[in-house]
């Protein structure tokens, strides 16, 4: 009876996410589904009629109908269920890619796993290393107060733009900002799956190089920084597929293709499958945990007195909080989070 009570408490504390299985037409729970089943417009557009809406910070206005329609939560509560744990996991704020994914489904009825979405935005170069949507900036600023009273020693950040921006807006007004270390950790990057997961690392170093510590990136990859995302993969076969394709595409090519262009071409060909398999992300997440543990030891951080923050991505968090991997490679996925959600987790799993 006590366990049932605990489970019910956990369910009440969960923040509802959009049901991805419903978007794929595969949800079997119907009206009993805990997550949200997105609406579709009464007068649907054909995909070729859809126009991506880019908006400047100056012109941006909150649209209450959009917030409700797309389950955009501008003030995500921090449900501190176990503040004795050492890590605070934070998913990045809403990106332009995230926004367009919901908007495209509403206006056309096609989900993120269907071919029309591939042609409109999933392999659109405009979404390489997608930045935060103004909604994502606003939710990051709103959620910053959740961290004000917490003693934090170090913040580890994914090298992707949406995570770096989230870190900046979460901590730009933190009362103890000057005493917190901000370290970019390559292992925290999202699963290499869709266009927004492709890094534009030179741009991010140019923007955030004086704010965050990129030394781990530079030490790990030295002169191969442009290829960091491939070299950072856990699986050698996945690495070789991309690197061999890069060599092939640029053999006798008068207009050489960048590694980003090559990855995007592969994504287009294998859509909706991901370049990086879930089981390999699981091993990469485990590698990240070990690197953070080493950092804690080397810097003599007392995790009983101060917290470690990870600003990263949903698939990474699912694997970082996973209960394990079976012999056949199936990953028991852990916590799924909405944009800007924060949870406690253990460093010593």
Per-residue pLDDT of 182-211, as tens digits, reads: 999 999 999 999 999 999 999 999 999 999
> Among 81-85, 214-218, 306-310, which is the least confidently predicted range?
81-85
Q: Is the pLDDT of residue 119 over 80?
A: yes
Per-residue model confidence as pLDDT tens digits over 312-346: 999 999 999 998 888 777 788 789 999 999 999 99
* Spatial separation of the C-alpha atoms in residues 161 and 184, rounded to whole Å: 11
Q: What is the pLDDT of residue 192?
A: 98
Size (the chain), residues: 349
> In angstroms, how far is CA 190 from the centroid of its own chain?
5
Residue 132 corresponds to which tokens in the numbers above?
């935060």
CB 17 within 8 A of CB 337: yes
Task: Please identify which residue in the block is written with the tokens 């990129």.
Answer: 214
pTM greater than 0.85: yes
Please give the domain boundaries of the chain with CATH numbers for all domains: 38-345 (3.40.50)
Q: Give the H/E segment covering residue 269.
A: helix 259-270
Q: What is the pLDDT of residue 14?
A: 59
């Amino acid at each position: 009876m006590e366990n049932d009570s605990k489970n019910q408490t956990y369910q009440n504390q969960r923040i509802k996410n959009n049901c991805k299985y419903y978007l794929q037409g595969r949800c079997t729970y119907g009206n009993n589904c805990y997550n949200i089943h997105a609406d579709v417009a009464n007068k649907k557009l054909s995909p070729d009629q859809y126009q991506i809406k880019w908006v400047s910070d100056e012109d941006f206005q909150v649209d209450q109908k959009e917030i409700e329609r797309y389950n955009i939560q501008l003030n995500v509560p921090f449900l501190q269920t176990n503040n004795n744990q050492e890590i605070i996991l934070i998913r990045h704020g809403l990106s332009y890619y995230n926004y367009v994914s919901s908007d495209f489904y509403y206006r056309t009825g096609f989900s993120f796993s269907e071919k029309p979405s591939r042609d409109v935005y999933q392999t659109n170069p405009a979404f390489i290393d997608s930045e935060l949507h103004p909604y994502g900036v606003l939710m990051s600023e709103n959620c910053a107060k959740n961290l004000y009273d917490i003693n934090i020693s170090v913040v580890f950040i994914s090298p992707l733009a949406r995570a770096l921006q989230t870190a900046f807006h979460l901590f730009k007004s933190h009362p103890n900002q000057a005493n917190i270390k901000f370290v970019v950790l390559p292992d925290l990057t999202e699963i290499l799956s869709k266009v927004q997961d492709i890094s534009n690392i030179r741009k991010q170093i140019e923007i955030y190089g004086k704010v965050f510590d990129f030394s781990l990136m530079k030490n790990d990859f030295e002169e191969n920084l442009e290829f960091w995302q491939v070299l950072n993969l856990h699986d050698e076969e996945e690495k070789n597929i991309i690197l061999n394709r890069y060599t092939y595409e640029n053999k006798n090519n008068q207009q050489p293709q960048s590694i980003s262009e090559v990855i995007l071409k592969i994504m287009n060909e294998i859509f909706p499958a991901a370049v990086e398999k879930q089981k390999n992300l699981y091993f990469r997440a485990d590698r990240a945990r070990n690197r953070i543990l080493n950092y804690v030891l080397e810097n003599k951080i007392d995790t009983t007195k101060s917290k470690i923050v990870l600003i990263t991505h949903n698939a990474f968090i699912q694997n970082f909080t996973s209960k394990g991997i079976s012999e056949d490679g199936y990953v028991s996925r852990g916590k799924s989070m909405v944009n800007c959600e924060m949870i406690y987790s253990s460093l010593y799993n």
